Amino acid sequence: MLKRLVVVAFLVASAGPASHATLAAEPNQAISGVFLTTRYPVLTVKAGETTTVDLSLHNYKLPPQGFTLSVPEIAEGWKATLLGGGQPVGAIEVGPDSDESLQLRLEPPSGAGQGDYHFTVEAKGAAQDLKLPITVTVGKEVPAKLKMTTNFPDLRGTATTAFKYRVTVTNDSGRNATINMTADAPKNFQVNFTEAYGSQQLTSIPIEAGKSKDLDASVSLPRETPAGNYKMTIHARTEQASADLPVSLTILGQPRLSVSGEGGRLSGDAYAGQDSQLTVVLHNDGSEAARDVEMSATAPEGWKTSFDPKTVPEIAAGKSQNVKMTMTPSPRAIAGDYQMTVRANASGGIDESANFRITVLTSTLWGAIGIAIIAVALLVVVFAVARFGRR
């Protein structure tokens, strides 16, 4: 790799008849002069490729300076054009304490072979002549190459975990490239790419030659995904190169409880002051057993509830468990609909519940007493008619 080097054509302002151009200066003396520079005076290009070299003309602490521009030394067969503001230029003026940008466009002849080609850029003023040598080496282009790395290729969590891989993509090529990002993932898995610490989704990203960028590959998957180890591959591709990064996800089992009544019903009947039973169905449609499931209920004021069993040690994945709930409405409860919440708490922070509508009916005892009262009333009427009807 070529070390960075700045070549400078310079002119130091004359302070008097005895002064002359020099790079040396007194420690406390400010530098002044006009400098013609380039960041890369020696560079390598691909055969047949047009090259543009950036130039700068700097004026430090001098009055405005005008220069005629030319390229007196041009490699045989090459075409050299000086550009300013995107247009060919033949002269330039640079103000005090400012700089002007130029470009040298070099077009090689067809069939130009490998080797070194020399050029000289000249900026000629009224009393100053600045010359800047440039060497272009025609050689083999650095082969296109991509690289991807991540610090954590293996992630673990439940199916509801937000999985994210931090991926570094490096363009180890000799030219800038637009990198296309894709991924091979199991069915129903979705992989989205964003720039690190960003939120905008992307499918491709430009990366300069020799540079790297960090991306986030976020993976979402269905909640019902079974426990197990899943393999994926992240791809980075250009027309000339590609890189693959294998990663994996370990999905841990997770219970998922639901609470309902028999047949999915969420309703029941009860009588004021009397015990009534309701069957509560606990179903685990997760991928791991639910353990230490404890039952509880929130009922209207004055009601009593109990469960049999109160605690279920385990409900296997895909299995159900019936629990008998005994409820006793308040003796003062009037006929109508009431709401009761039945809750199942399992280890691991699982908390599931369902609301049941409980209809309180009139007691059969009071119905019998009402019938008896009506019967007595009828007997009284019959007796009265029989006794006083003869008169």
Residue 366, pLDDT above cutoff 60: no
Residue 387, pLDDT above cutoff 90: no
Residue type, 59: N
Element (H, E) at 101: strand 98-107
Please report which residue ranges of the chain form alpha helices under DSSP H: 364-388
Each residue's pLDDT tens digit, 111-139: 888 899 999 999 998 878 999 999 999 87
Q: How far is CA 132 from its chain centroid?
A: 48
pLDDT value, residue 10: 46
Please tell me the distance from the alpha carbon of residue 69 to that of residue 102, in angstroms, as a whole number.
10
pLDDT value, residue 25: 43
Each residue's pLDDT tens digit, 307-360: 999 999 999 988 999 999 999 999 988 999 999 999 999 987 889 999 999 999
Task: Say whether the peptide bond before residue 309 is cis (omega within 30 degrees of 0).
Answer: yes
Please tell me the distance from the alpha carbon of residue 282 to that of residue 294, in angstroms, as a whole number.
11
Element (H, E) at 194: strand 190-195
User: In the predicted model, what is the mean pLDDT of the chain?
Assistant: 86
Please report which residue ranges of 85-223 form alpha helices under DSSP H: none
Between the alpha carbon of residue 328 and those of residues 265, 269, 309, 325, 365, the distances in Å are 20, 11, 17, 10, 16
Residue 23, pLDDT above cutoff 50: no
Residue 163, pLDDT above cutoff 70: yes
Residue 380, pLDDT above cutoff 90: no
pLDDT value, residue 73: 96
Please tell me the distance from the alpha carbon of residue 132 to that of residue 34, in angstroms, as a whole number.
13
Each residue's pLDDT tens digit, 216-257: 999 999 988 888 999 999 999 998 899 999 999 999 888 889
- Ranked by mean pLDDT, the top range of 2-6, 194-198, 368-372, 380-384 is 194-198
Q: Which fold has domain 257-365?
A: Immunoglobulin-like (2.60.40)
pLDDT value, residue 175: 79
The DSSP symbol for 274 reads S
The residue extents of the domains of the chain are 7-139, 146-251, 257-365
**247 within 8 A of 237, measured Cβ to Cβ:** no
Please tell me the distance from the alpha carbon of residue 157 to that of residue 177, in angstroms, as a whole number.
35
**Structure tokens belonging to residue 228:** 């197990």
Q: What is the pTM of this model?
A: 0.49
Please tell me the distance from the alpha carbon of residue 170 to that of residue 211, in angstroms, as a whole number.
6
Asked whether this chain's domains 7-139 and 146-251 adopt the same fold, the reply is yes
Of 7-11, 36-40, 208-212, the range with the lowest mean pLDDT is 7-11
**161 within 8 A of 102, measured Cβ to Cβ:** no
| % pLDDT > 70, the chain | 88
Q: How far is CA 104 from its chain centroid?
A: 42
pLDDT value, residue 310: 95
Please tell me the distance from the alpha carbon of residue 102 to that of residue 55, in angstroms, as a whole number.
5
Backbone phi and psi for residue 243, each to the nearest 5 degrees, phi listed first = -145, 140
DSSP string for residues in 201-268: EESEEEE-TT-EEEEEEEEE--TTPPSEEEEEEEEEE-SS-EEEEEEEEEEPP---EEEEEGGG--EE
Please tell me the distance from the alpha carbon of residue 238 to that of residue 27, in angstroms, as a whole number.
53
Residue 7 confidence class, pLDDT cut points 50, 70, 90: very low
Each residue's pLDDT tens digit, 54-70: 999 999 888 999 999 99
Q: Which fold has domain 146-251?
A: Immunoglobulin-like (2.60.40)
**Structure tokens belonging to residue 269:** 């009947």
Please tell me the distance from the alpha carbon of residue 124 to that of residue 127, in angstroms, as a whole number.
8
User: In terms of CATH architecture, what is 7-139?
Assistant: Sandwich (2.60)
